[in-house]
């Protein structure tokens, strides 16, 4: 019953407003990012914009969470701040959205701390996997079409980790750990916040 209620909330006007607000906050958070030059190439920057989608998904259901993830990337694209012609936003949506969906879906089935932790663990695994696939088949090939040869990307990774020698090892030794670290950071921020956020979002009608 609770799952049905949460799934239908996305169609309520009040929920659409909440989704819009959280999407806008997520969009703003996309501008707050930081490189980790000692660990990853400089173009890989950590941000916590998926936090709003994750908290929204936990409180309002998986459909709402994925919609928030889509909205923040759509805003990034239509406001002209995209540097990849929308490809980066698509990949960000696929990666972040997969994380949000897994966590919020599991929480909708098991509405307690065990459900959250289980969702975060599985979501981290899924996000890391999707991140590798999206980068290997979408992002890195796109960079090549834009005149940024894969050799240059590999060289940036090799300067930090000598195990990186080609596109596949770049994905394994740079992209996978990056998304793993990002998911863990968002998970740690979610744990102390999700219950209060859920109460606030469900209290406001």
Of 4-8, 35-39, 95-99, 148-152, which range is least confident? 4-8
9 has a pLDDT exceeding 50? no
pLDDT attached to residue 11? 57
- The residues, ordered by sequence, that sit 6+ positions from 57 with a Cβ below 8 Å of its Cβ are 64, 65, 66, 68, 100, 101, 103, 104, 107
Which segment of 8-12, 28-32, 96-100, 195-199 scores lowest on mean pLDDT? 8-12
Residue 179: pLDDT band by 50, 70, 90 thresholds? very high
- 163 versus 145: the higher-pLDDT residue is 163
Q: Exposure of 101 by Cβ count < 10 A (0-12 exposed, 13-18 middle, 19+ buried)?
A: buried
Distance CA(164)–CA(26), nearest Å, equals 32
| C-alpha span between 1 and 15 (Å, rounded) | 18
Report how far residue 130's alpha carbon sits from residue 179's, in angstroms, rounded to the nearest whole number. Answer: 9
pLDDT above 70 covers a percentage of the chain that reads 93
Cβ atoms of 178 and 44 within 8 Å: the answer is yes
* Global confidence as pTM: 0.90
Instruction: Give the Cα separation of 198 and 29 in Å (integer).
Output: 20
The Cβ of residue 60 has, within 10 Å, a number of other Cβ atoms equal to 27
The average confidence (pLDDT) of the chain is: 91
Tens digits of per-residue pLDDT, 42-86? 889 999 999 999 999 999 999 999 999 999 999 999 997 777 677
Identify the residue with better confidence: 11 or 71: 71
Tokens of 191: 């744990």
Looking at 1.10.3720.10, 3.10.290.10, 1.10.1760.20, 3.90.950.10, the CATH number of the domain 2-31+44-203 comes to: 1.10.1760.20
**Token digits of residue 196:** 């209060």
| Boundaries of every domain in the chain | 2-31+44-203
């Amino acid at each position: 019953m609770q799952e049905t209620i949460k799934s239908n909330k996305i169609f309520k006007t009040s929920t659409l407003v909440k989704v819009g607000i959280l999407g806008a906050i997520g969009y703003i958070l996309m501008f707050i990012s930081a490189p980790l030059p000692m660990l990853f190439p400089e173009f890989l920057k950590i941000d916590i914009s998926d936090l709003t989608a994750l908290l929204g998904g936990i409180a309002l259901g998986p459909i709402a969470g994925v919609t928030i993830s889509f909205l923040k990337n759509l805003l990034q694209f239509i406001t002209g701040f995209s540097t990849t012609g929308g490809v980066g936003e698509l990949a960000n949506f696929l990666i972040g959205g997969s994380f949000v969906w897994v966590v919020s879906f599991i929480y909708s089935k098991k509405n307690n701390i065990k459900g959250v932790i289980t969702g975060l663990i599985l979501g981290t695994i899924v996000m890391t996997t999707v991140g590798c696939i999206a980068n290997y088949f979408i992002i890195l090939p796109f960079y090549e079409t834009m005149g940024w040869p894969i050799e240059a990307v590999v060289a940036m990774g090799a300067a930090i980790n000598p195990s990186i020698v080609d596109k596949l090892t770049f994905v394994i030794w740079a992209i996978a750990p990056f998304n793993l670290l990002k998911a863990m950071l968002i998970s740690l921020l979610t744990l102390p916040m999700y219950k209060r956020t859920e109460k606030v979002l469900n209290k406001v009608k």
